[in-house]
Structure 1
Amino acid sequence: MKLPSFVLLLHGPIWSFVHLVEEVDARPDPLVSSLSVPLSSPSPAPLTPIPPNLSSMVAFSPGSQEGSENHHQMDPNKKLLIALIVASTALGAIILSLTCLWIYQRRNSLKSHNENPYNSGSKYNSSRMRSNKRAVSLMDYKSLETATENFQESNILGEGGFGCVYKARLDDNVDVAVKRLDGGSQDSIKEFETEVDLLSKIQHPNVTSLLGYSIHSKTRLLVYELMQNGSLETQLHGPSHGSALNWHLRMKIALDTARGLEYLHEHCNPPVIHRDLKSSNILLDSNFNAKLSDFGLAVTNGSQYKKNIKLSGTLGYVAPEYLLDGKLTDKSDVYAFGVVLLELLLGRKHVEKLAPAQCQSIVTWAMPQLTDRLKLPDIVDHVIRNTMDLKHLYQVAAVAVLCVQPEPSYRPLIADVLHSLVPLVPVELGGTLRVPQPEFPVDDTTVPSSC
Structure 2
Amino acid sequence: MLVYEFISNGTLYDHLHVEGPISLSWNNRLRIATETAKSLAYLHSTVAMPIIHRDVKSANILLDDTLTAKVADFGASTYIPMEKSGLTRAQGTRGYWDPMYFYTGRLTEKSDVYSFGVVLVELLTRKKPFSYLFSDDEGLVVHFVTLFAEGNLLQILDPQVIEEGGKEVQEVAAIAITCVKLKGEDRPTMRQVELTLEGLRAS
TM-score by length of 1: 0.43
Deviation string 1:66-85 (CA, Å, 9 cap, x unpaired) is xxxxxxxxxxxxxxxxxxxx
Deviation string 1:83-141 (CA, Å, 9 cap, x unpaired) is xxxxxxxxxxxxxxxxxxxxxxxxxxxxxxxxxxxxxxxxxxxxxxxxxxxxxxx3xxx
Secondary structure of 2:131's aligned partner: strand
Cα 1:384–1:304 shift into 2, 3 Å? farther
User: What CA distance in whole angstroms lies between the structure 1 residues aligned with 2:137 and 2:12?
Assistant: 22
User: What CA distance in whole angstroms lies between the structure 2 residues aligned with 1:302 and 1:388?
Assistant: 41
Q: Which residue of 2 aligns with 1:276?
A: 55
Which of residues 92, 108, 119 in structure 2 aligns to 1:340? 119
The one-letter amino acid of 1:224's match is Y
Cα 1:280–1:246 shift into 2, 3 Å? same
User: What CA distance in whole angstroms lies between the structure 1 residues aligned with 2:81 and 2:129?
Assistant: 24
Superposed, 1:268-347 pairs within 5 Å as 268-301=47-80, 305-347=84-126
Which of residues 12, 15, 35 in structure 2 aligns to 1:235? 15
User: What CA distance in whole angstroms lies between the structure 2 residues aligned with 1:298 and 1:254?
Assistant: 20
Query: 1:289 Cα shift?
Result: 0.5
Task: State the identity %.
Answer: 38
Q: Which residue of 2 aligns with 1:119?
A: none
Given that residues 317 and 350 in structure 1 are in contact (C-alpha distance below 8 angstroms), is that contact kept between their aligned partners in structure 2? yes
- Residue 408 in 1 paired to residue 187 in 2? no
Secondary structure of 1:224's aligned partner: coil
User: What CA distance in whole angstroms lies between the structure 1 residues aligned with 2:82 and 2:26?
Assistant: 32
Deviation string 1:280-315 (CA, Å, 9 cap, x unpaired) is 000001111111000001000277534311112111
The one-letter amino acid of 1:408's match is G
Superposed, 1:369-380 pairs within 5 Å as 369-373=147-151, 375-380=152-157
User: What CA distance in whole angstroms lies between the structure 2 residues aligned with 1:321 and 1:252?
Assistant: 29
Given that residues 305 and 327 in structure 1 are in contact (C-alpha distance below 8 angstroms), is that contact kept between their aligned partners in structure 2? no
Q: Which residue of 2 aligns with 1:420?
A: 196
The one-letter amino acid of 1:327's match is R
Given that residues 10 and 64 in structure 2 are in contact (C-alpha distance below 8 angstroms), is that contact kept between their aligned partners in structure 1? yes
Cα 1:354–1:424 shift into 2, 3 Å? closer
Cα 1:401–1:308 shift into 2, 3 Å? same
Uncovered stretches (5+) of structure 2, i.e. residues with no partner: none
Given that residues 262 and 415 in structure 1 are in contact (C-alpha distance below 8 angstroms), is that contact kept between their aligned partners in structure 2? yes
Given that residues 144 and 153 in structure 2 are in contact (C-alpha distance below 8 angstroms), is that contact kept between their aligned partners in structure 1? no
Deviation string 1:192-248 (CA, Å, 9 cap, x unpaired) is xxxxxxxxxxxxxxxxxxxx2xxxxxxxxxx4212111001111113356x241111
Which of residues 128, 134, 138 in structure 2 aligns to 1:349? 128
Query: 1:380 Cα shift?
Result: 1.1
Deviation string 1:24-49 (CA, Å, 9 cap, x unpaired) is xxxxxxxxxxxxxxxxxxxxxxxxxx
Which of residues 256, 265, 275 in structure 1 aligns to 2:35? 256
TM-score by length of 2: 0.91
Which of residues 373, 384, 387 in structure 1 aligns to 2:164? 387
Secondary structure of 1:383's aligned partner: helix
Which structure has greater strand proportion? 1
User: What CA distance in whole angstroms lies between the structure 1 residues aligned with 2:194 and 2:33?
Assistant: 9
Cα 1:354–1:247 shift into 2, 3 Å? closer
Given that residues 133 and 140 in structure 2 are in contact (C-alpha distance below 8 angstroms), is that contact kept between their aligned partners in structure 1? no
* CA RMSD of superposed structures (Å): 2.0
User: What CA distance in whole angstroms lies between the structure 2 residues aligned with 1:413 and 1:302?
Assistant: 18
The one-letter amino acid of 1:369's match is L
Deviation string 1:145-200 (CA, Å, 9 cap, x unpaired) is xxxxxxxxxxxxxxxxxxxxxxxxxxxxxxxxxxxxxxxxxxxxxxxxxxxxxxxx
Which of residues 359, 364, 369 in structure 1 aligns to 2:142? 364
Secondary structure of 1:409's aligned partner: helix
Query: 1:385 Cα shift?
Result: 1.6
Deviation string 1:355-413 (CA, Å, 9 cap, x unpaired) is 9xx6853111211112343x123321012223222x31221111100000001100001
Uncovered stretches (5+) of structure 1, i.e. residues with no partner: 1-137, 139-211, 213-222, 426-431, 434-451
Cα 1:289–1:299 shift into 2, 3 Å? same
Given that residues 272 and 302 in structure 1 are in contact (C-alpha distance below 8 angstroms), is that contact kept between their aligned partners in structure 2? no
Query: 1:353 Cα shift?
Result: 5.2
